[in-house]
């Protein structure tokens, strides 16, 4: 198939990146290293200062960033942050010119995603939801998967950006399809981690040697490659965040809301949501794998 004539060229395109958290800072760094002209903005100055020292230009405001950008990417924590950044006075939608491309990478509710698409369409902005599957090590390795929803021509136009940050990318369908697919993916992520925690708990209660058990489990076909690194975290008791438990809990809440609105019944996810929620106050900033010691510490009734 012929390449679109207006495919993005890193020599001429100005990228603006909003949100420099665990994911956003690493995505910005990869784009900068790949030779894109990237400016960035973050609500709190600390993460922005780190990237400024690495040569990334930091904008003074969202509006300044957006006005000077051909393509805007955003990676934010939740619905509230995304809504504020896009709809506030001086936000993305108040500053973006017609024809601007926006790639919204946050894991948000389908309802907010649809609202963003509608508003972008009204303003003549090209908008894709571009959800990310993969945690921080995958971002650093350029091994994430991108799940997009929106217009095919815009999706194809942005392929050079995907090539700089991802291993593979898929257009799932019309607007918000990427976010919907991300909920499907993260349902499995949450359930897989819960299953691993319960398997380790059973092994410990059966008095298996912990290190041998973890080593063998990590080599079996039932463990997805993305989880092999979690075994080292469990073994070392090191739960520094790659994907924070609070974000997994937020995503599982989104999954359950989507299930209710669509009529899907998810009994295992309901249990996983409860376990995640019970960990938030104490362990929310730790890695998702931190549910393992919680599950091991549970006491049987009776």
Domains present along the chain, CATH in parentheses: 14-174 (3.40.50.720), 182-296 (1.10.1040.10)
pTM of the model: 0.94
pLDDT tier at 4, thresholds 50, 70, 90:
very low
Q: How many residues does the chain have?
A: 302
Residue 30: both structure tokens together? 């990869």
What pLDDT is attached to residue 300? 77
Given a cut of 80, whether residue 66 has pLDDT beyond it is yes
DSSP for the chain, please give it. -PPPTT---TTT-EEEEE--SHHHHHHHHHHHHTT-EEEEE-SSHHHHHHHHHTT-EE-SSHHHHHHT-SEEEE--SSHHHHHHHHHSTTSHHHHPPTT-EEEE-S---HHHHHHHHHHHHHHT-EEEEEEEES-HHHHHTT-EEEEEES-HHHHHHTHHHHHHHEEEEEEEESTTHHHHHHHHHHHHHHHHHHHHHHHHHHHHHTT--HHHHHHHHHTSTTS-GGGHHHHHHHHHT----SSBHHHHHHHHHHHHHHHHHHT---HHHHHHHHHHHHHHHHHTTSBGGGHHHHHHT-----
Given a cut of 80, whether residue 261 has pLDDT beyond it is yes
Average pLDDT of the segment spanning 200-211: 97
Average pLDDT of the segment spanning 140-158: 97
What pLDDT is attached to residue 2? 53
Question: pLDDT of 85-137, one tens digit each?
Answer: 999 999 999 999 999 999 999 999 999 999 999 999 999 999 999 999 999 99
Question: pLDDT of 162-198, one tens digit each?
Answer: 999 999 999 999 999 999 999 999 999 999 999 999 9
Average pLDDT of the segment spanning 269-298: 95
What pLDDT is attached to residue 301? 62
Q: CA-CA-CA-CA torsion for 159, 165, 169, 175, nearest 10 degrees?
A: -80
Listed in sequence order, the residues at least 6 apart from 68 whose beta carbon sits closer than 8 Å to its beta carbon are 14, 16, 39, 59
């Amino acid at each position: 198939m012929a390449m679109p004539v207006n495919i993005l060229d890193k020599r001429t395109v100005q990228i603006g990146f909003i949100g420099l958290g665990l994911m956003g800072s690493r995505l910005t760094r990869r784009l900068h290293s790949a030779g894109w002209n990237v400016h960035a903005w973050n609500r709190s100055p600390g993460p922005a200062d780190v990237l400024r020292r690495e040569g990334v230009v930091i904008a003074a405001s969202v509006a300044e960033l957006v006005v000077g950008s051909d393509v805007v990417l955003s990676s934010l924590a939740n619905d509230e942050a995304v809504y504020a950044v896009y709809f506030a006075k001086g936000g993305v939608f108040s500053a973006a010119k017609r024809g601007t491309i926006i790639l919204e990478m946050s894991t948000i509710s389908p309802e907010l995603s649809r609202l963003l698409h509608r508003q972008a369409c009204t303003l003549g902005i090209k908008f894709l939801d571009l959800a990310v599957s993969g945690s921080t090590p995958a971002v650093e390795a350029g091994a994430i998967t991108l799940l997009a929803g929106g217009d095919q021509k815009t999706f194809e136009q942005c392929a050079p950006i995907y090539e700089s940050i991802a291993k593979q990318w898929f257009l799932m369908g019309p607007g918000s399809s990427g976010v919907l697919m991300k909920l499907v993916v993260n349902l499995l992520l949450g359930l897989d981690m819960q299953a691993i925690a319960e398997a380790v708990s059973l092994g410990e209660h059966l008095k298996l040697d912990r290190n041998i058990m973890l080593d063998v489990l990590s080599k079996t076909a039932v463990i997805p490659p993305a989880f092999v690194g979690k075994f080292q975290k469990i073994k070392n008791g090191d739960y520094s965040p790659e994907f924070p438990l609070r974000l997994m809990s937020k995503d599982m809440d989104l999954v359950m809301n989507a299930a209710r609105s669509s009529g899907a019944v998810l009994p295992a996810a309901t249990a996983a949501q409860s376990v995640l929620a019970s960990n938030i106050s104490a362990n929310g900033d730790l890695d998702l794998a931190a549910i393992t010691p919680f599950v091991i510490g549970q006491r049987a009734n009776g």
